[in-house]
Each structure stands twice: as structure tokens, then as C-alpha cells.
A and B are shown apart, each in its own frame.
Chain A
Amino acid sequence: MLKQAIMNGLNTLVLAAASDGGLGGAIKDLLNRASVPQIFVPLMAIGLIVALLTYRVWTKPKIAGLLGLGFIGFYLWSATDENFFKIIVKPDNVPITIMLTAMAIVTWVAFRQAAINDRRIERGEPLIESGADDKVLVWPDLVYTEMICLVLCTIALVVWAILLKAPLEPAANPTNIPNPSKAPWYFLGLQELLVYFDPWIAGVLLPGFIILGLVALPYIDKNPRGNGYYTFSQRKMVIWVFMFGWIILWVALIVLGTFLRGPNWNIFGPYETWDAHRPAALLNVNVSDLFWVVLPEKTGLWNPGLPKEPMWGLPTWLVREGPGLMVLGAYFFILPVVLAKSVCAKLYKDLGLIRYAVFWLLMSWMILVPIKMVLRWLFNLKYFVAITEYFFNI
């Protein structure tokens, strides 16, 4: 599917470049097509993987500068498009542009120093941050820095406030539901997850696990190295996991939710007009449908049809959802054990039982998010387990 989309895109690119829209139109068309989650999210993930693998290369000031300039140029060029412009200048969306810019800068600053430190570690030289006895007095060094920051930030905030009016829409009207209704931008990653999960997971369980996971992090990450200085090579695994969660599952989904989701929560490319009359999405299937209907239809092993009454002394829902429950059970409870005995044997030894169990509880939920996304994109999977009777759908 991805390949087909890319081929389509390239085709249109070539065709359009030769015709009226020109190259600009063709690029916009390509990016509009790349805005659907099944392309946008994997592209982001690939981008992150490449960036982390080549962190010593792109962080070089010249290359980073070029990348930055290229991106600014692209953003400005995009802003000449009416639809794109409309989205980014929505007052409450302006902070997102600011966040993305600030994030790009600090991420560069961090990985640049990590690259330098990692080289120095290899050569056995002292780190950028070394020299622990190098103390300076708080007055004047720190206090003055703080003073200057305070003045600059006040100015920046006042200028921002003068330039951009705070939004105020018509008075609240409980009978007039806007389409789309969006949560504040910093929660839009979670709202985006509602596409894939029921509210009790997207809105309660996952945020809870994020908080729990962050609090638990210092107790699970037993690696004593990389304490108090920038490094990547000494903390590879934890940085991979954290950056995946932060960049893909949090930031990229916010961008998707704010910039690309339009009426009826449909995807609209950044250069497309929001049209409220798009057809609704396809029908989705559950694991129970796959097992009780699709599988027997294909193989003829048993009569196709969802179980309608209790069987083997088990309630209907348990029989119906048995296959899904087994899949999830294996994923949550058997997989970690298998891993502890094989690939993760060393990790298990280092962490011990309790830490390892907590680690996998958090990891399984984190990984379940992309798994479910991919299964949705490929097979229209709706639920692994759909015990709608008890609002227990995963």
C-alpha cells in the first residue's frame, strides 16, 4: 500500500510538473497524499530512526544549519498556500509552530553535545561538562544571567501578546456542536488515539501509564552511566524508547491532530480545503469477526458466524472473544516471559523480577499503540477484544 502510494505520488509529481500546477502544485499534491496517518506516522518514524542513527552527522553545525534553513524556506513557501496559512495562523495553533521550532533547536543542541561527548569518551578525553571543581559564585554569575533572561522573556511575552490577539469565539452554545471539536492542542495526541482505542484506554489508561512510566523511569533505568551530561552512546536503549514515545507518539500525533484533522475527524492534507462532506470511513472488523467469520469462510473448518449463545458452560461473550483474549493474554503475559528467557535475559538479570515486570507492563502498552495503528491500517482491525456488554474493548 505504501509502495503504491509512493508510486502514485511520483507519477503525479512527474505529470503535474509538466502541466499547469507546476512543480509547486505537484509537491503540494504529494504532501497532501502523504498526510494520511498510515503514511505520515511511518514517515515520521523513519525520520526519527534515520536521525538517531546518524546523529553524529546531521548535528554538525553546517549540516544542521542547512537543514534548518531548508525547513524554514519550506515552511515559508508553504505559508503562501491559502489553506496551509489558515491552519497555522489560527491563534491557538501558533504555539505549535513555536514549540516545533524550539524543539528542533534544543534537540539539535542536545544531540550535538552528545555527539561531541561520545567522541571524547571514545578517545578517553574529558567531557564538555567535566571540571566539577570549577565553581562560580551565584552572585553575580547566575543572578545576572537570571536577571537578563527575566527581562528578555518579559519583552518576548509582551511582544507576542501585542502581535497576536487571544482568540474569542462566539459565546458558548450547548446546542451547536462545532465540527471538528478539538481538545486543547497539548492533548491532541491523546485525542488522536481515540481513532484507535476506546476512551477508557486513550483518555484514562494511557495518560495514566505515561505518568506512571515517567515516575518509574529513574527506578527502572539502572544504567549508572550518562548521569549529568549529554551522551547517546552510553544510554542507547533508554533514549531510543523515550524519543520514540516523545517524538512519534506525542509530538507527531499532536501535529496530525491539529494540522491535518478536519470535519468528521477526516484527514485533510495541509494544502487542502476543509470540506465537511467527505464520505465516512470504512467498516472495521474485530478479532472475533476474523476468527469466527472470515477464517471459516476462507478455510471451511467450521460454520461461519459469531457465537450467539453460551457454549461449554462459558458465557457468550467469553466464547466470542476467546480468540482475542488469548492473543492479548499471550502478548501481555507470555511474551515478556519468553523474552526474559531469550533476547532480554541480560536485562532481566539486571532488573530483577519486579522492575522487569513493571518495565514490561509499561512497554507492552506503549508498543500496543503502534501495533494497533498498523493493524488498523492494514486490516481495518477495530478491537482485539470487544466485550461491548461491559465497555471492555481493547
Chain B
Amino acid sequence: MSVFGNIGNYIRESQIWGSVFRHGIPRDRRTRAMAVLSNVFLHLHPVAVRKSGIRLSFTWCMGGLTFFLFLAETITGVLLMFYYRPVVEYAYNDIIQLRAHVTLGLLREIHRWGAHAMVIAIWLHMLRVFLTGSYKPPREFNWGVGVILLKLTLLLSFTGYLLPWDQLAIWAITVGSNMARATPVLGHEGPGAAAMMIGDVPLIHAGSDARFLLLAGTSVGPGALLRFYVLHCIFIPLVVLVLIAVHFWRIRKDGGISGPL
């Protein structure tokens, strides 16, 4: 046996290796099943799947791609957080500095295009789930989880759009958040808001309505930047992560990738 083979055997028979991988090399049915069952990440999968279900032409790999992009965004996002401060005085400059001085300044590009790609991937994922009728029983609930994920993905993109604090950012967010002003009952220019009175005191005004809640002010300013930052970096990703876990779990519990009965 070659030297490498010997070394390889030595490693694989060591206590360290054995403690990490509790099965032999996945060469036969049993060890392959073990490989999946004994790994928490691979265990997201069942041991065996329908052949037709994993064809590229059936799923277009779009759910997987969305997940991949979510991970890529998480990693690049954490790195970006090292360089970025969500304060009006610093934010824009930090982005310029990032571009000019940081090795791998490419981070921002990857993060931005990854975000756009994730929006596209999730739309196409939904389209394929729709066109294969995979939302039908028993998968109604998981489809619903998906719709919430879709909304959260759009919100992730939207909140991130503000952070560079350039003209593109604040005006896009201004256009978007102006809608909140018109929320029925809860926006100060929404239908029904005028009815929300205690005696003569209006409950809903520019300083207390849905847009104010979102922006921490009546226009896109420092408060909005901080709020969007926290939503973008912490709150929404956490919720998305939890929902993705539910989503994947339910795929298995609902009988794996759908197929004709």
C-alpha cells in the first residue's frame, strides 16, 4: 500500500477521526445512510429521495439556491458589519472607505448582488412550487411558511437598501416608507385614521403613525438608519433562520419533495 494510503488509514483509524465521524467511508448502502443520519446538517435530508424529485428540471434547484444565497449573505454581511457604522455621520464614508482600503473590498459587491439574486431565486422557487402544484395537501402549511419567507426576504433587501446612505438609498426608502403613512386606520393619511380620537385629541398623527414607527421620525433620518440596521442585521435574519428551519423540517415531514401519487 502506498504511503498516502497508509497515512490515510492511520488517520481514519485514529480516535479523533472516529469521534467526529461515527461511520465508515460511505461506500455501501449502510454507511451512506449513516453518513446522512449522523450529521446534523445532512440530516435535514431524508436518507433516500425520489429520483424525479431531485432532477434539475423539476426543482430548478431554486430552493437550494435561495438557501445558499441566504448563507452567502450572512457571511458577507457579518464581514461588512466590521466596517460599517449605522450613524448618519459615518455610514456613507464607511462604505467609501470599505471600497477604497479594505482588502477584499469585493464584499459589498457580493453582498449586494447576492441580495438581488436571492430575490430572483425565491420568486422562481415559488413559481416552480406553484407550477408543480406542490402547495396542495399535505404541503399547504409549508407553502404558507414560504410566503412569509418571501415577504421577509423582500423586507431584508429593502432594509439593506438604506444602509449605504446615498441618494439612491434614502429616496428609494422614502418612496417605499411613504406608503406606511397611508395605512388604513394606522397611518395619519390613511382612511379611518381621523376616527381614532379620544375626545378632541387625535390618536394618529404624523408623529405617532405607522410610518413613524418604521422610521423613528417623520422622514428618513438617523433614527430610521439605526432601525433599519437592527432590523436588517439582527431581527429579520433571525426570524428567517428560524422559519427556514421550520420550512426544511416540514419538507421532510410532508413526505419529501412532491411527486405524483
Contact of B116 (CB < 8 Å), options: A95, A114, A165, A169: A95
Closest to A91 in B: B112
Stretch at the interface among A80-88, A225-233, A302-310: A225-233
A128 to B154, CA, bound (A): 34
A229 to B134, CA, bound (A): 8
Q: Is the CB of B116 within 8 A of A217?
A: no
Q: Does A284 contact B (CB under 8 A)?
A: no
Q: Could you say which residues of chain B place their CB within 8 Å of the CB of A109?
A: 57, 60
Tell me whether A392 and B182 are in contact in the complex, defined as CB-CB below 8 angstroms, given that A182-B172, A224-B136, A226-B133 are known contacts.
no
Q: Could you say which residues of chain B place their CB within 8 Å of the CB of A131?
A: 51-52
Q: Could you say which residues of chain B place their CB within 8 Å of the CB of A204?
A: 179-180, 182-184, 187, 190
Q: Is the CB of B120 within 8 A of A98?
A: yes
Q: Is the CB of A200 within 8 A of B113?
A: no
Q: Is the CB of A172 within 8 A of B106?
A: no
Q: Does A338 contact B (CB under 8 A)?
A: no
Q: Could you say which residues of chain A place their CB within 8 Å of the CB of B194?
A: 390-391
Mark B77-117 against chain A: 1 for CB-CB distance below 8 A, else 0.
Answer: 00000000000100010011001000000101110111011
Tell me whether A130 and B260 are in contact in the complex, defined as CB-CB below 8 angstroms, given that A95-B120, A391-B190 are known contacts.
yes
Contact of B182 (CB < 8 Å), options: A157, A203, A387: A203
Q: Is the CB of A186 within 8 A of B92?
A: no
Contact of A182 (CB < 8 Å), options: B56, B60, B166, B175: B175
Q: Could you say which residues of chain A place their CB within 8 Å of the CB of B60?
A: 106, 109
We find that the number of chain B residues with CB closer than 8 angstroms to chain A is 101
* Residues from 227 to 245 in B contacting A, C-beta threshold 8 Å: none
A205 to B92, CA, bound (A): 34
A181 to B167, CA, bound (A): 10
A184 to B164, CA, bound (A): 14
Tell me whether A390 and B166 are in contact in the complex, defined as CB-CB below 8 angstroms, given that A158-B110, A199-B182 are known contacts.
no
We find that the number of chain A residues with CB closer than 8 angstroms to chain B is 91
Q: Does A335 contact B (CB under 8 A)?
A: no
Contact of B113 (CB < 8 Å), options: A102, A160, A176: A160
Closest to B143 in A: A218
Q: Does A57 contact B (CB under 8 A)?
A: no
Q: Is the CB of A390 within 8 A of B164?
A: no
Apart from A137-B48, A200-B184, 13 more pairs, CB < 8 Å: A135-B50, A136-B49, A149-B61, A149-B68, A170-B166, A184-B172, A202-B179, A218-B135, A228-B260, A229-B259, A239-B131, A246-B127, A390-B194
